[in-house]
Amino acid sequence: MFAVLTDDQDILMDSLNYMPNVKEHLTDKGVFYQRHYCTIALCCPSRVSLLTGKAAHNTNVTDIIPPYGGYTKFIAEGLNSEYLPVWLQDAGYNTYYAGKLLNGHSVINYDALYAKGFNSSATWQTGTDVPETFPGQHVLDINVGHAYNFLDDAVQKDIPFFLTIAPVAPHAQVIILDPENPQIQNRNITAPEPQTKWNSSFVGEKVPRTPNFNPDVPSGGSWIRGLPQLNQDSVDYNDAFYVARLQLLAGIDEMVGEVVSRLDAAGLLDSTYIVYTTDNRFHIGQHRLQPGKSCPIEEDYNVVETVTTHTDLAPTFIKMLNINLRDDFDGTPIPVTADQITAASKDVSKSEHIDMDEVPTNNTYKSVRVMGTSYNLFYTVWCDNSHELYSDPYQMNNLLLSNSSDVESSLGIRMTTLPSSLMNSTTPAGPRSTASAPAQSPHPTDDIPQLQTRLDALAMVLKSCKADSCRSPWVVLHPQRDVQNLGDAMTPKFDAFYASHPKVSFSECEQGYILESEGPQDVIPLPG
């Protein structure tokens, strides 16, 4: 298996449209999961969820630096012996990793406890060797060079292998001024720097002007709703940032084409799974936000009609490689064949986020996404106890606001719709086109107050779920198994039950996963 894990790549700003090799070899010939979501929009905790098959509240890695995140937190939680590469090696696979593993895995702590589970791992060191520096070389060139060497080694050994290439791209350029104190005030964050050969590519391209790009009407919830509209200088900066990301992705696209060619030359292409994903998405100008991530918006969570999440990836890889599944996975294997996709029925995808230092205002929230064949709902409870509920693809119409109709009117569009490209996952439709008008597919939201009570209860289950309760949250609320989806739960006979059920709330906006500040914890099932 060959996996590519990019860093902060977008989908809703059409980045894949600029990657011809990915299109030719992957999206055109494989399955494209347009409804795949990360469950926490922040590098380190998202990567840990991907590698363990567990939600962030179960890994307790919820930030990129200590005390609540980073490589040292990963080690402290005992996860270095309980994640994907270790399980693959136990099953007889050679494992290789080239690129960024986890934030905070550095020249300072690399030998405190080596990352387990790899035949070779190049985080600018190979295996347990002393780290090397490469002055004057672009990080992507180094990353790709290691990857090609690992691929050659894997092919020569004639043993099943799992090779991950994890470039630090198209992530912003971050210069940490004091490695001993990597807080935001000790960092310089700028647009990414592409390889020189791509400097003249994509010049003049602009961030797609979707309805939620720097809107005239305030949008979003909590502190986002108070952001001022971007001026022209900021818009120009955002466009330049966007071009730099496309230029950096060109190098990754080139690498994908080369790896496919090498697998073909070795006679392994037809027997090798190829997976392409990213740790989380990115926003540039949407909802008036400067370039960044970690917000409860589609641009930050949507990764590439089957609903899937990053917690599903480890179980999926395990199943694809014919290894026994673990009982403690929060996720479930993703359907990968046409028959599996047709048979799949899953309408819940949870997302949660625990603070991020890069944002100058507190950014803690719990969110739940519920999808069916005719609805796509995204519900958020912020740590200031404000609420958002959306059914529109651009998250401009908060259904819980009394003036939501005014927002629709000012935009001149009907927002309770889904784009047609989200309605079919059996064919690789490609990313959502900014030129396409959304197709009518409304959710029956005639009774918003009753709908909110169902989402509140569902969020209560998902914010602290483990294993089976993450995979089948409705069963936790309805042990009789007479409710399988949101449509079943909306039956009026359950109104009183849901109205009285405890709800997600916060007493403080904390910097980490602090249970004492997260309101009620106990889920009350419907009595039999």
* Domain extents in the chain: 2-517
Mean pLDDT of the chain: 80
Statement: residue 444 has pLDDT above 80: no
> 36-37 and 308-309: which strand pairing?
parallel
Predicted confidence at residue 284, as pLDDT, reads: 66
For residue 473, give the DSSP letter. H
> Is-contact 178 121, C-beta < 8 A?
no
Statement: residue 311 has pLDDT above 80: yes
- The string of pLDDT tens digits covering residues 499-524 is 999 999 999 988 788 889 999 999 99
Q: Which helix (H) or strand (E) holds 144?
A: helix 139-157
- Neighbouring CB atoms inside 10 A of 345's CB total 13
| Residue 419's pLDDT band (cuts 50, 70, 90) | very low
Give me the architecture of the 2-517 domain, per CATH: 3-Layer(aba) Sandwich (3.40)
Q: Provide the whole-model pTM.
A: 0.80
The C-alpha atoms of residue 414 and residue 397 are separated, in whole angstroms, by: 10
Q: Mean pLDDT across the stretch 283-308?
A: 54
- The string of pLDDT tens digits covering residues 341-399 is 777 655 454 443 322 322 333 578 888 888 776 778 889 998 889 999 998 888 889 99
Predicted confidence at residue 441, as pLDDT, reads: 34
48-62, 119-133, 144-158: least confidently modelled range:
119-133
Predicted confidence at residue 357, as pLDDT, reads: 29
Statement: residue 130 has pLDDT above 90: no
> How far, CA to CA in Å, does 167 sit from each of 18, 20, 95, 316, 515?
17, 18, 17, 22, 35
> 376-382 and 365-371: which strand pairing?
antiparallel
Q: Which helix (H) or strand (E) holds 58?
A: helix 56-59
| More confident site: 221 or 63 | 63
Predicted confidence at residue 216, as pLDDT, reads: 83
Q: Mean pLDDT across the stretch 152-158?
A: 93
For residue 525, give the DSSP letter. P
Predicted confidence at residue 352, as pLDDT, reads: 35
| Residue 440's pLDDT band (cuts 50, 70, 90) | very low
Predicted confidence at residue 32, as pLDDT, reads: 84
- The string of pLDDT tens digits covering residues 158-187 is 899 999 999 887 877 877 777 666 565 566
> How far, CA to CA in Å, does 274 sit from each of 4, 25, 104?
8, 9, 28
- The string of pLDDT tens digits covering residues 92-115 is 999 999 988 888 777 777 777 788
Long-range interactions of 185-194: CB distance < 8 A, separation 24+ = 189/358, 191/240, 191/241, 191/244, 191/245, 191/291, 192/244, 192/245, 192/248, 193/138, 193/244, 193/248, 194/244, 194/247, 194/248, 194/250, 194/251
The C-alpha atoms of residue 108 and residue 253 are separated, in whole angstroms, by: 32
Q: What is the dihedral of CA 148, 102, 358, 456, to 10 degrees?
A: 120
pLDDT-above-70 percentage for the chain:
78
Residue type, 267: G
Residue type, 145: G
